[in-house]
Chains A and B, each alone.
Chain A
Amino acid sequence: MLRIRDSRITTLIAIVAFYLVMLGLNGEAMLRKAELLPYGRYRQGMVALARPFAGVARLGPGVLRKYFEQMREQYWKGVQQ
């Protein structure tokens, strides 16, 4: 059984893990967005930050989102919007 102090820390660990995995899963989208920013130091920084996550995403996890996106498109094919 977790104690109160532990539950806050474990929740923080879970949140950080969640954010890191989300960054990994969405790294490519993050890189695309960063590359669209106006030229300057901010863009450089964001691109540098996004690149490793995009690399992780390309290794496999990003495929998960694409797979479900394609599944959705396939499912709604032929249905008029």
Chain B
Amino acid sequence: MLFPTTVFAVFFLVVFLGNWVLRRYHVAWLWFLLVASYVFYGWWDWRFLILIAGSSVMNHVLAIAIHRHTARQVHRVLLGLALCFNLGLLGFFKYYGFFVESAYSLCGHFGVVPTLPLLEIILPVGISFFTFQALSYVIDVYRNDIPPAPSLLSFAVYLAFFPQLVAGPIVRAATFLPQLGQTPDARPLETGRAGLLILGGLFKKIVLANTLATYLADPVFAFPEAYGALDTLLGVYGYALQIYCDFSAYSDIAIGVALLLGFRFPDNFCAPYFALSFRDFWHRWHISLSTWLRDYLYIPMGGSRRGRVRTSCNLIVTFLLGGLWHGANWRFVVWGALHGLYLSLERLWAWCVPATFRNSRARYILRPLAWIVVFHGVCLSWFFFRADTFADAWLMIRQLRDWQTPAGLLQPQILSVLAVGFLVQLLDGNRLAPVADWVEHRHPVVQGVLAAVVLTIILGLGPQGVAPFIYFQF
């Protein structure tokens, strides 16, 4: 079920009513949320409900067992079981084909034919997101950071909660489970903020992301040989802004929808292309994933506590795996490796260049330069993320030397959409709070009419049809 569709509109009205009518009957309310979430997920393919239900049962049982057993050895074995189960599930559904193909390709070089079965496995939507949520829950219980969920039902709702189920944000159990408690949040519903998040998300997705894809990114990435340096640059800028508008739109809509149901999620984006360092970029881009990788991978590997070389290795390994999380393809691994390398080089720069110099008058030159380097470094990594093949990515990078071919895409319409796509980042965070406050003080009918008029304008301005969100494939 996609957010900007009539089916979801009807579904949401039913869920909104049921959620608030049943809120005082705790168990019935939890069952209602679970059934609604399963309907949302099963709308795509009901067979994968068995997968998410099985994952809920297994992880809850293991978390309870980890919590009850005090012996250190048993603790570790149970955690190992949980890790094997979750990573095995992800590995089978997402990476089996990738590893088999890679094994065939590698063995082919040595003239050996492996006997691994080639299976056609459908990738369940959102498996990367709910598996990471389950992993964080079990690890947090193991670390004694949180108690296990009070019931299997609560945990199943946490894992399947429909607004963030298929494309994040990755909400931690420590944030979500307390909100499933008996006592409802006493604060009034922030209708204005939720409405702005949803409409802003729809504007970013329908108008900006779809337009950038239609007129700029898709044509350039589909026929890279037909475009020169300037068009290729515009194409990758377009994709950089398209993926931001697309993914942050989903996160915003998810946060807004959850807010209307009385749940508060943390922000997932904060103007990432304004970052002045790669570290800063990862504090602003897909925050729920970057903090997940930091807390459950980078820090347990030693983080920055074991010397410079080890820190760089930890960064690169974390981002290699972060890249692989995005998709079963070596292109994503290269994308992750590039980011790991950037972060390592950035640390090297910080170690080599004294802070006194970086904060001196030279900062007036260094900061704009840093922005240019960071933005283009990120764009370079997008070539591998978006191109269909490695060959295409290399071809596009090589095309950056071709300044002879005239730039057909250098048109005011395209430049203006790029500018709006870049500036829309200014709306991240809570910068629209005064507008939300103003909306909340209008009569509810006025609020509804305003929202409908704005949505109609959005639908009129965006290209026809609803393209799926990019992050659905992960």
Contact = CB atoms under 8 A, between A and B. Distances in A.
B460 A72 contact: yes
B189 A79 contact: no
Nearest to B442: A14
Interface stretch (B166-174, B277-285, B318-326, B451-459): B451-459
Interface string A9-33: 0111111111111100110000000
A21 B460 contact: no
B444 A19 contact: no
Interface stretch (B86-94, B338-346, B361-369, B408-416): B408-416
A22 B191 contact: no
Interface string B185-199: 011110100010000
Contact of A22 (B260, B413, B452): B452
Interface in B425-442: 440
B411 A79 contact: yes
A76 to B, nearest CB: 6
A41 interface: no
A2 interface: yes
A5 B39 CA distance: 28
B414 A79 contact: yes
Interface centre among A3, A4, A17, A18 (most CB of B within 10 A): A18
B441 to A, nearest CB: 9
Contact of B451 (A7, A18, A26): A18
B112 interface: no
A39 interface: no
Interface string B439-474: 010001101110111011101111100000000000
Main secondary structure on chain A at its contact with chain B? Answer: helix
A7 B189 contact: yes
A4 B460 contact: no
Nearest to A10: B444
Nearest to A64: B456
A8 B20 contact: yes
A15 B19 CA distance: 14
Contacts of B219: 80-81
A22 to B, nearest CB: 5
Interface in B1-29: 9, 13, 16-17, 20
Contacts of A81: 214-215, 219
Contacts of A66: 460
A76 B462 CA distance: 11
B15 to A, nearest CB: 11
B413 A21 contact: no
Contacts of B457: 64-65, 68
A81 B448 CA distance: 35
A64 B191 contact: no
Contacts of B448: 13-21
Contacts of A6: 188
Contacts of B452: 17-19, 21-22, 25
A76 B191 CA distance: 35
Nearest to A79: B413
A65 B413 contact: no
A22 B186 CA distance: 31
B453 to A, nearest CB: 7
Contacts of B191: 7, 10-11, 14
B447 to A, nearest CB: 4
B268 to A, nearest CB: 23
Contact of A76 (B20, B260, B413, B444): B413
Contacts of A68: 456-457, 459-461
A21 B161 CA distance: 29
A58 to B, nearest CB: 15
A37 to B, nearest CB: 14
Contact of A14 (B186, B451, B459): B451
A4 B187 contact: yes
A65 B447 contact: no
A76 B278 CA distance: 35
| Ranked 6 nearest A-B pairs via Cβ | A17-B448, A68-B460, A21-B452, A7-B188, A18-B448, A13-B444
30 contacts: A4-B187, A8-B189, A11-B16, A11-B444, A12-B16, A14-B447, A14-B451, A15-B448, A17-B445, A17-B448, A17-B449, A18-B448, A18-B449, A18-B455, A19-B9, A19-B448, A19-B452, A21-B453, A26-B459, A61-B456, A64-B453, A64-B456, A65-B459, A65-B460, A68-B459, A68-B460, A69-B460, A72-B462, A79-B411, A80-B219
